[in-house]
Structure formats: C-alpha cells, structure tokens
A and B are shown apart, each in its own frame.
Chain A
C-alpha cells in the first residue's frame, strides 16, 4: 500500500445547530507528498485535519493511516497513531508559561510512561534531541526562555520543533502561517519544505494564500462547504477555478 493516509466518506456534523462541516469526503495521501488544503474560512479545513487524528470525533466515515484504522482505534491505539502524525497549529498552541524546552519535549509525551512524564523526568537523550531540533529550526539560544517571550515566528518554530520530536510520518499543519507576517511565513514554510524533502515526512498543510500553496505544494485539495471542489496540481488552478473555490468576488493577492 503506497498510500500513507486514506480518507473514505468522512462526514462531520456538529450537533449544535446541525452544521454540516465535512460532507462525505474521500481522498488519499501518498507518501512523501506535500498536500495543501485551500479554501475559505469555514470550508472545513481545520475540521478535516482534526478529524484525521480524532481531536474531533468524525460523525461517519473511515480514516486509515498506514494500514491502521484510526476511526475504530482504542484510546491506546489512537495514542500510538497520534504520535506518528504530528500537528502544528495556527495559534501555535504552546504552553505560554512553560519554557521553550519543555514545550518541545512535550512532543515526546506519547512515547513516555505515565510515571516518568508525571515526574517531569525526560531522558538525557530526549533533552539532547530537543536541543538539536531547536538548533534545526534556528533558535537554540531561546531554549530556557518562557514561550510567551518569543515572537510569533519563533513560537511557530517551537511548534515545528515539537512536531520534529515526534519523528512523525505525517505532519499536519493547520494554517501554520496565517498569524504571521509574509516574511516569517516563508521562513516557516521553508522549514516544512525541508522536513518534507530531507526527512521524507508527508506534509498536509492548510493554507490561506494561494501564492503559498503554489510555491510549496506538490498537490492541492480545495474545499468548499465541506466538499472537495478541486483536486490536482498547483499549476492547474486558473482564474476560473480560483473563482469556483473562493467565490465570484474574490481576487487573488500576492504574498511577497
């Protein structure tokens, strides 16, 4: 099986107000891909990503990750799956009052026994690895600062370092750059690209700007109202497609 991730008939209905967030969605992600999800806000990108690792329980459908059924997994199996698919977030989701190092090390929690993690006893090897990962994202000197003392771009790099700690097969990025300015956006996206190319991590990123999607994605999935409206290469998106995805009045803006 060369697909890392397969999504079949995934549906999510939010009970309150009965909003149909994902409507019978099916697609597959190949190993080593850089898949970009685009679409308007509320088109279901975040819900899709969170349904894949079941931070949100899907209403119906099936998600298969590397041959394992995620949707039917027991809590224990689910943790096992989750530690192989890392996630980074729009608002970084760091524990602001903990140090950067602790935040990075929390990526290892899925591998630790409850007692060692309760005692905050990280192994020497883990700490070294966390430092190495911080070095990789270019902020080793910030390790002992509190997370909220860092700038937005630096915080997102901490998020990436945390994801690297998991040694993931799949990296899901939920609008990783929409809280950042254009220049920082590119540097963060480049780290994702490096992970994709050098470590062979499959990346699934939802992005706001088409420009970024064209630049970094190997394949694009466009969502609208919980349905896939386009699937193909970045270069296939022309003016007509663009209006289909983003609505009639939309106009493309360039990011740098």
Chain B
C-alpha cells in the first residue's frame, strides 16, 4: 500500500479554519442584512430630521441623535436582522445563495423558526461559546437547537419539495431591493440638494455663458497670451506630451511589476505571496487616489508646472496599468507554459517564451487606452498646478469679470480640447482594434 498523506498535526487549527469556512458566507449575509437595516434606519431618521425635528438639522443636513439613541438603533437593527434570518429570506441570504432548511431537507415549520429566532439571541450574546459549540460542518448552536440548517441553495435545490415560485416583486428580496432603491433615491435627492427649478430660474445666467462659449475667441490660438506666456496650441502640445511621458514611463515601470502582482507567476511560497500582496495593495491604494490629488502633492514637491503633472499621472498610470496587466497575466492560457516547462525550460524561459508573447498585444492596447485617459486627465490636471492646456482654461475661467471676452476664450480652449481628445481617441481606438 502506498503512503497516504499523514493527517495534519495541526488538526485543531484545521477544524477552526473549516468552521470559519463554513460560516463565512452566513456571516457575510448576516452583516449585509444588518447593514441594510442600518441604512434604512439612517434614512428614516434622516427624514424625521428633515420633516419633523427640523430644528436639529445642522449645516450638513444630517442626523443629530442623542447619545443614548445609538444603542437602541444598533439593537433594533440587529433584532430585525435576526428576525429576517429566522423567518425570512432577505437580500444577504439571496446574494450569498443561502437557504434555511430542516435537517431532513424540508421547509422549516413555524415552530422551528421561532426556536431558531430565540436561540440566535443566545448564540449572539455568547458568541465565542457558540462558535466552540458549532459543529465542523457549520451547524451552529441555534441550528442544533431548532433542527434547522443554513445550506447553500444549489445543494438543497433538488432535495426540497417543489414550490411554485413567487413573482419577483413579492419575494422579500425583491421588496427589500425596491425599498432600498426608493429610499436611496429619495435620500440622494435630499442630500445632494437637487433643485430642478434652479436650472430654469437661472437659465438666463447660463444662456449668457453658452452664448459666449459657442462664439469662441481664437485670438490666442497661435499667438501666446502675454500674461500666460503660452498659446492654446502650445498648451495642447504640453498636455499631449505630459500624457505621453506619463503613459510611457508608467507602462515601462508597470511591465515588470505586473509579473510580481500575478498569482500564477509568483507561485505560493510565503515570500512570493508577500510580494504579491504588497504589489496588489500598492496597485489598489495608488489607483484609488485620482491623479489630480497626486498632482497636489507633486506640485508642492517639484513646483507648479507640467513636470508635476507628469509625475502625478505616471504614479496613477503605474498603479492602473499594473493592475490591468497583472490581471492579463493571470488570465493567460496555461497550456503553452506547461509545454515549455515539459521541454526542460527554466522559469525564465517560461515567462519569455510562454507568457510574454501572449500578453504583448493586450499590454499595448491597454497602454493606448491609458494614453487616452491620461490625455483627458492632462487637460484638467492644471487645476492644482499641473500645467498643460488646463492652465490656460482655468486662467481664462478665473478672468471672468476681469476680461470681457473671458468666456469666449474658455470656449476656444474647450473646443481645442474636444478636437484633440476626439482625434486621439479615434486614432487610438483604430490602432487598438488592429492590435487585438
């Protein structure tokens, strides 16, 4: 008989992890539902403030709740969630594909649900103890006591006796979704202070702007503006070059980094995993901060001007392209890699001959796409001192009231930007089509 793998020594840890694994979707579902109820509670209180206790509303129009109020809200939402998980089938359970069934694969009776509801309180109050009492397959204390089980819907689908499905809107999931959308819309309307009447009452204001904007004044198209020392064309060239350098530098740096951020290349040794995690965290963090915010920092660092813009865009490009690239690397066809490994190739050979030929076209396409985005960003990055055509745009915009033709000049700049963005968008689109 062959050697079978020995049972892991750390079986206690294994049991713990297994329990955690079994409980994870249920915990997520629970927290999601709790958060949903919390959100609804927030909305309710917001409306109470808005329409009832109006004297409490501060400048931001948000809730002022006395200190003793918060525990009540928290407990009440928790209670609602428990209720939902015992008697109903809410958003969390639907999204995570869970279903409450009895041990003999049937729908739970009302009595069982009631028992589950009560025992859930016990479980929650002494959470660690309840976790210890949880069986390895994830049957919790309240499940054991009520004879129910939370199972994955796809596992019990066939065992359960058939029932006529309800109309989408009549399910709890549908209702909750509808309520959520409605509440969100209302809240959004209030919070963002939407006031459609203002669009019309101040239409005259905008009409003046529009009239000037569509009568652009191209006087400084080629002729540099003496105050700015730059013409529109020069500004455009600057913006294009900012985007170009940022894309180039970003792409070149992101290329090697993308391999470090790809699971399948890095393998699963602890060190590799660490590098992978660091790379991924870097990509995600730096990507989530818009390049214009980076420009704020770089403008302090290297002074106002196009170079600050280049650095800001480069940083953002590295992160954005790094993520896209490493996803490409993770999605490659593993067949050729296997083939090259089987001929006795090294890891380097596998990357050079198996990975790189597969990813080069999409790398180019993504870089071009990024160039498009960078050009758009380069037009506005001047707002915080990044240089380029945006500097001219915001300069003229700030001259409104001082220069009679300020809006006309803004119009000219905007038209120039549109033309360039459009043209380069079109070209890069065509090239991308050809590459892929």
Contact = CB atoms under 8 A, between A and B. Distances in A.
Q: Do chains A and B touch in the complex (CB under 8 A)?
A: yes
Interface of A: 9-11, 13, 23-24, 53, 55, 59-61, 78-87, 89, 91-98, 102, 106-112, 114, 117-118, 120, 159, 162, 165-166
Contacts of A92: 335
Interface of B: 1-5, 333, 335-336, 338-346, 348-349, 352-354, 357-358, 360-361
Nearest to B3: A60
B342 A95 contact: no
B2 A162 contact: no
A13 B338 CA distance: 20
B341 A55 contact: yes
A109 B353 contact: yes
Nearest to A83: B344
Given A95-B357, A97-B361, A55 B338 contact: yes
B339 A109 contact: no
Main secondary structure of the interface of B (DSSP, over half): helix
Contacts of A102: 353, 357
Nearest to A13: B5
A10 B3 CA distance: 9
- Among B333, B340, B343, B354, max chain A CB count under 10 A is at B343
29 contacts: A24-B1, A24-B2, A53-B342, A60-B3, A60-B4, A79-B346, A80-B344, A82-B341, A82-B343, A83-B343, A87-B342, A87-B343, A89-B338, A93-B335, A93-B336, A94-B335, A96-B333, A96-B358, A106-B349, A107-B343, A109-B349, A109-B353, A110-B343, A117-B346, A117-B348, A117-B349, A117-B353, A118-B352, A120-B352
A35 to B, nearest CB: 18
Given A23-B2, A55-B338, A83-B344, 5 more contacts: A79-B345, A82-B341, A89-B335, A94-B336, A97-B361
Contact of A95 (B1, B341, B344, B354): B354
Contacts of A85: 342
A169 to B, nearest CB: 13
A242 B340 CA distance: 36
Contacts of B4: 11, 13, 60
A117 B344 CA distance: 13
A110 B344 CA distance: 4
A158 to B, nearest CB: 11
